[in-house]
């Protein structure tokens, strides 16, 4: 695979630089966009910066990961992304919730979500084409599932750390490579007839989908955001089982009889029903008990996930209602 196609002047200059041996970046003008969350250029550039901390980019030297001039560019991109998130959900507040009430506080955030349900649509009315588009969107995260949240492990301790390890151990297959959740997602993509290679659809995935992943990467990479990444994971686990049951129903309704097509979703229905209590009580509650000042950050991370995922679902459903693809190029179109 090749580097992705640029989507504007920032990503064009960044990708041109990354194709060369590591060097000091020439200054790249990063002006504030009207909508940082939906800005294709900014989100792709930020995604590429973060990808250097995961599996890297095709043909890009590993030395770029910690190049100071690239980190300075990433910080500028993060500044605008963070400002847009604050505009979306408000700033971090000095909140205090008793550790034993964290599950109630997180449920209140979930209950306040008024975004349309993507899982209900796919379960009842979704087409094969829409299911495949959904799988492509989700591949941006699911093929690296659990990696961003694992950055929190060295940054917390005690009961919260033990709870995080318990959750992550399941995500990584409990020691069984064929049960790693990212592998189960790749298997599902194979069953759908899609390309399951890591990053295969990056050119088709729009800014809002990249933003859902960039949120996790930003929170996970910064020690100062450890409360927020825990809040993100906690509500992610608490709200996963029901949608995954619906997605499994959609896959079966649409006639995919390969067991690999539903195994990922079925696994999450079972695993996340267990993770729900661990995430809310032991992980979120345990962190707040140990570090009470992180309560506001934790709840902010949960709100940010709900809000940005709500926008993602809304944009996908709007595209389908209008009879167009939710991807930058339909799956039927060739990518140059």
Per-residue pLDDT of the chain (336 residues; tens, 9 = 90+): 899 999 999 999 999 999 999 999 999 999 999 999 999 999 999 999 999 999 999 999 999 999 999 999 999 999 999 999 999 999 999 999 999 999 999 999 999 999 999 999 999 999 999 999 999 999 999 999 999 999 999 999 999 999 999 999 999 999 999 999 999 999 999 999 999 999 999 999 999 999 999 999 999 999 999 999 999 999 999 999 999 999 999 999 999 999 999 999 999 887 767 788 899 999 999 999 999 999 999 999 999 999 999 999 999 999 999 999 999 999 987 554
8 A C-beta contact, residue 228 and residue 298: yes
The C-alpha atoms of residue 231 and residue 83 are separated, in whole angstroms, by 19
pLDDT at 213: 98
Ranges of H-type helices in 143-255 = 147-150, 158-171, 181-192, 207-221, 226-238, 241-253
Q: What tokens were used for 213?
A: 């992943």
Residue 157: the pLDDT is 97
Tally of residues, the chain? 336
User: The pTM is what?
Assistant: 0.96
pLDDT for the residue 332: 86
> How far is the C-alpha of 64 from the C-alpha of 52, rounded, in Å?
7
Long-range CB contacts (within 8 A, 24+) of 73-78: 73/14, 73/25, 73/28, 73/30, 73/45, 73/49, 74/46, 74/49, 74/50, 76/30, 77/10, 77/30, 77/42, 77/45, 77/46, 77/49, 78/46, 78/218
> What pLDDT does 273 receive?
72
Instruction: Report DSSP letters for 12-27, one per residue.
Output: HHHHHHHTSSS-PPPP
Measure CA 297 to chain center: 18
**Residue appearing with tokens 């079966």:** 252
**What local confidence, expressed as pLDDT, does residue 336 receive?**
44
* CA distances from residue 268 to 61, 64, 239, 245 in whole angstroms, order as listed: 36, 35, 11, 8
């Amino acid at each position: 695979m090749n580097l992705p196609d640029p989507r504007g002047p920032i990503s064009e200059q960044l990708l041109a630089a990354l194709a060369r041996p590591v060097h000091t970046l020439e200054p790249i003008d990063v002006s504030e966009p009207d909508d940082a969350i939906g800005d294709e250029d900014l989100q792709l550039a930020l995604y590429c910066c973060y990808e250097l901390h995961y599996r890297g980019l095709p043909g890009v030297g590993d030395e770029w990961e910690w190049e100071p001039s690239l980190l300075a560019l990433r910080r500028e991109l993060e500044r605008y992304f963070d400002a847009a998130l604050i505009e979306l959900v408000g700033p971090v507040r000095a909140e205090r919730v008793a550790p034993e009430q964290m599950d109630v506080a997180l449920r209140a955030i979930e209950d306040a979500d008024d975004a349309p349900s993507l899982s209900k649509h796919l379960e009842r009315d979704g087409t094969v084409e829409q299911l495949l588009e959904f799988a492509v969107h989700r591949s941006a995260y699911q093929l690296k599932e659990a990696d961003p949240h694992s950055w929190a492990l060295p940054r917390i301790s005690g009961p919260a750390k033990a709870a995080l390890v318990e959750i992550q151990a399941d995500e990584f297959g409990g020691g069984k490579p064929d049960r790693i959740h990212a592998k189960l997602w790749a298997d599902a993509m194979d069953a759908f007839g899609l390309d399951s290679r890591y990053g295969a659809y990056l050119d088709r995935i729009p800014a809002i989908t990249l933003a859902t992943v960039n949120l996790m990467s930003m929170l996970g990479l910064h020690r100062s955001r450890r409360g927020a990444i825990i809040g993100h994971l906690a509500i992610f686990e608490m709200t996963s089982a029901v949608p995954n049951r619906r997605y499994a129903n959609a896959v079966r309704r649409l006639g995919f009889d390969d067991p690999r097509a539903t195994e990922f979703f079925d696994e999450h229905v079972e695993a996340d029903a267990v993770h729900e209590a661990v995430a809310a009580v032991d992980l979120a509650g345990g962190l707040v008990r140990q570090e009470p000042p992180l309560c506001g950050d934790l709840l902010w991370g949960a709100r940010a996930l709900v809000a940005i995922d709500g926008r993602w679902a809304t944009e996908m459903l709007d595209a389908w209602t209008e009879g167009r693809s939710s991807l930058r190029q339909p799956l039927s179109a060739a990518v140059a």
